[in-house]
Structure 1
Amino acid sequence: MVNPVCGNLRYNCCNWPGEGVAFGPGPYELIREEQIMKRTIAIAFAAVGVIGPAAAAITLTDGNSLVEIDETSQAGMGTWMVDGVDHLFQQWYWIRINQSPEVSVDAIGAPNVTLYGSNIAVISYSNALVQVDMTFVLTGGTPGSNTSDIAESIRVINRTDRAFHLSLFEYDDFDLDGTAGGDRAEAFGAPVTTITQWDSSRVFVGAVPPVTHWEIASFPSILDRLNDANPDNLLDTGSPFGPGDATFAMQWDTQLAPGGAFIISKDKLIVPEPTTIAAIGFGLAALAARRRRK
């Protein structure tokens, strides 16, 4: 990791007070290291300001479905067409390192995109602190079925020689059946593994491992806090919700060792109503099996 004080590639290269002392760092050194980590975070994420013009959105197609992703901004995944109806306004990811503010993953650095066929995209972002690799797999239903599935895998790698606390956030704003409002939503599991939202159609969003925190709230409450330049946690509130203009989010907290990786697997399934929560059971089992194989 680049030392922000001297520019050397070794984080601890400078002759900081207490370096090499057998008793380990004292209070001054711990405070200094925390200050330097905060400065490094700011420097790493400020670099996004030099990115050039936005690239065209990624388009995935399969069966009766089409997905569009703007990988250059937090608009993120903003289209999920199923049998000609767009059910999604916005879905994207944010991260937080230690007590720095949350930032959307597109602020990490310029995206690197790899497409496999018409229905799989891998998007990677990296800087001096972290690398984030995101895989999206679209599986459309047969025409007229009004069903569609998106599987996602997110991997965050610590690129530094210091452990840090990572918070990963996933945010969803569905406009089911092409309309905002009239939504109902509910969280399931203890701890929560699934949030479902329904109108005339229903979407299930399931994830493994289980979340650390979650929240369901009216637009734009959650989005505002993700972007308010303060470190915020989700509130574990809002279930059941509605009717209203529902949004929801999931949060995972972990300590990430130097060179370590944290992986989540997610599945989003749209089906016609009425459908029960049991409909996603097979999907969650598949997600768990997929994680064990990694």
Structure 2
Amino acid sequence: MKTGIISKPQAWLVRSSLCLAISVTMLLSQANAATLTDLNSSASIDPSTQAGMYNWVIDGQDILAQQAFWFRTAGQEFSISTISAPVNSSLGANHLKSIYANASFSLSVEYLLTGGTPLSGLASLNESIAIHNTTTLPLAFHFFQYSDFDLGPGGDFVQLGTNIFGKFNLANQVNSASFNFAESVSTPGADHGQVGFFPGLLNSLNDGAPTTLSDLAGPIGPGDATWAFQWDVILSPAGQSGDTYLISKLKHVELVPEPSSIALGLMGLAGINWIRRRRS
């Protein structure tokens, strides 16, 4: 047999092996992905890659390209999917918890989807993140959330907000033809935030160099607007107070009122004021 030439039986074996490898890869990917559903809403999440949550469908319209998390303990940022293979727990059709762990820390992300009545355009998503130091030394930890929502045609506007302590605790994104989106950080506010057009922020998290968000709050738009939050914390050694850091957030989506609805509302208010003036 000549070197480099594959016989028919060998060729069949190679093709079979390739098909098997592809099938196994697809099955593993599907096994790690999850779709949450509730009433008029569904959300698809792949905890095993930096795709993260890669769609959120409300009344048949997908409003999300990507929401995912990165971390840094030294040097550059990494997707949380690089910490370890996730241990995923389905806590219901609309509820998922993913846990990652290595020799230094564990990190969990929990999603709870709440849909609205069909055609209401309403939906919300609670997210809870827990970061736990498992070493005997303090651990400097930087946690990033990247969000790329596409609410509708023509591009979106986005702006970040801060609380009375100067911490980033709000992201507002709107598309005048479709949806209003708001994310509120219950506890604690992020130390840094930044808005930008795709793919600038995503590239900065994947460029192999440490990133500190610029605190550019916007507004920016219209366009393919993205935004990110950054939390910086020093975790106490395991077993001591402060060895765990908790982040709690809520996303809420609603339809933008149609111009006719706004006009009717304004006409109604004008009518009420006219009646009041007539009676006075």
TM-score band, normalised by shorter chain: 0.7 to 0.9
Structure 1 letter corresponding to 2:99: S
Please point out which of 149, 172, 178 is paired with 1:196.
172
Deviations 1:102-155 (A, max 9, x none): 111111001101111200001001111111111100000000100100000000
Aligned 1:224-235 pairs, distance under 5 A: 224-235=203-214
Report whether the alignment pairs 1:69 with 2:48.
Answer: no
Alignment-derived partner of residue 59 in structure 2: 83
Deviation at 1:258, TM superposition (A): 1.4
- Where in structure 1 are there 5+ consecutive unaligned residues? 1-51, 276-294
State the partner residue of 1:143. Answer: 118
Letter in 1 for 2:184: G
Q: What is residue 256 of structure 1 aligned with on the other side?
A: 235
1:59 corresponds to which of 35, 47, 56: 35
**Contact persistence 1:55–1:72 (CA under 8 A):** no
CA distance in 2, matches of 1:102, 1:257: 21
Q: Which residue of 1 aligns with 2:184?
A: 206
- For residue 140 of structure 2, the aligned residue among 144, 165, 168 is 165
C-alpha deviation, 1:189, in angstroms: 2.3
Q: Which residue of 2 aligns with 1:183?
A: 156
Q: Which secondary structure does the structure 2 equivalent of 1:271 belong to?
A: strand
Unmatched runs of 5 consecutive residues or more in structure 2: 1-26, 259-280
Contact 2:58–2:122 under 8 Å retained in 1: yes
Q: What CA RMSD, in Å, does the superposition of the two structures yield over aligned residues? A: 1.6
**Alignment partner of 1:176: what SS?**
coil
What amino acid maps onto 2:208 in structure 1?
Answer: A
Q: How does 1:17-166 map to 2 (within 5 A)?
A: 53-56=28-31, 57-97=33-73, 99-166=74-141
1:14 is matched with which residue?
none
Match of 1:271 in 2: 254
Q: Is contact 1:217–1:246 with CA below 8 Å preserved after alignment? A: yes
**Separation in 1, partners of 2:149, 2:205:** 17
Q: Between Structure 1 and Structure 2, how many residues are aligned?
A: 221
Amino acid of the structure 2 residue aligned with 1:119: N
| 2:215 alignment counterpart | 236
Q: Secondary structure at the match of 1:54?
A: helix
Structure 1: which amino acid aligns with 2:78? Answer: V
Amino acid at match of 1:163: P
**What is the alpha-carbon distance in structure 1 between the residues aligned to residue 246 and residue 92 of structure 2?**
24
1:176 and 1:163 mapped to 2: Cα distance? 41
What TM-score do you get using the length of structure 2 for normalisation?
0.76
What is the TM-score with the length of structure 1 in the denominator?
0.73
Rg (Cα) greater in structure? 2
